[in-house]
A and B are shown apart, each in its own frame.
Chain A
Amino acid sequence: QVLLVESGGGVVQRGWSLRLSCAASGFPFGSYGMHWVRQAPGKGLEWVSYIRYDGSAKYYTDSVKGRFTISRDNSQNTLYLQMNSLIPEDTAVYYCAKKKEGDTDYFDYWGQGTLVSVSS
Chain B
Amino acid sequence: DIQMTQSPSSVSASVGDRVTITCRASQGVRSWLAWYQQKPGKPPKILIYGASSLQSGVPSRFSGSGSGTDFALTISSLQPEDFATYYCQQANSFPLTFGGGTKVEIK
Partner of A45, one of B44, B45, B55: B44
Interface size on A, residues (CB 8 A): 22
A107 pairs with B101, CB closer than 8 A:
no
A110 pairs with B50, CB closer than 8 A:
no
* Residues A104 and B94 in contact in the complex (CB < 8 Å), given A95-B43, A110-B43, A112-B43: no
**Across-interface contacts of B95 in A (CB, < 8 A):** 47, 59-62
Interface string of A21-64 (1 = CB under 8 A from B): 00000000000000100000000111100100000000111100
* Residues A44 and B101 in contact in the complex (CB < 8 Å), given A59-B95, A104-B32, A105-B96: yes
Q: Is A9 an interface residue (CB 8 A)?
A: no
- Docked Cα-Cα span, A6 to B91, in Å, equals 24
**Across-interface contacts of B99 in A (CB, < 8 A):** 44
Residue of A nearest to B45 (CB): A110
A106 pairs with B46, CB closer than 8 A:
yes
Partner of A111, one of B1, B43, B50, B97: B43
Interface size on B, residues (CB 8 A): 24
Query: Which residues of A pack against B, CB within 8 Å?
Result: 35, 44-47, 50, 59-62, 95, 97, 100, 104-108, 110-113
Selected A-B contacts with CB under 8 Å, 26 pairs: A35-B96, A44-B98, A44-B99, A44-B100, A44-B101, A45-B36, A46-B98, A47-B95, A47-B97, A50-B96, A60-B95, A61-B95, A104-B32, A104-B49, A105-B91, A105-B94, A105-B96, A106-B34, A107-B36, A107-B44, A107-B46, A108-B55, A110-B43, A110-B45, A111-B43, A112-B42
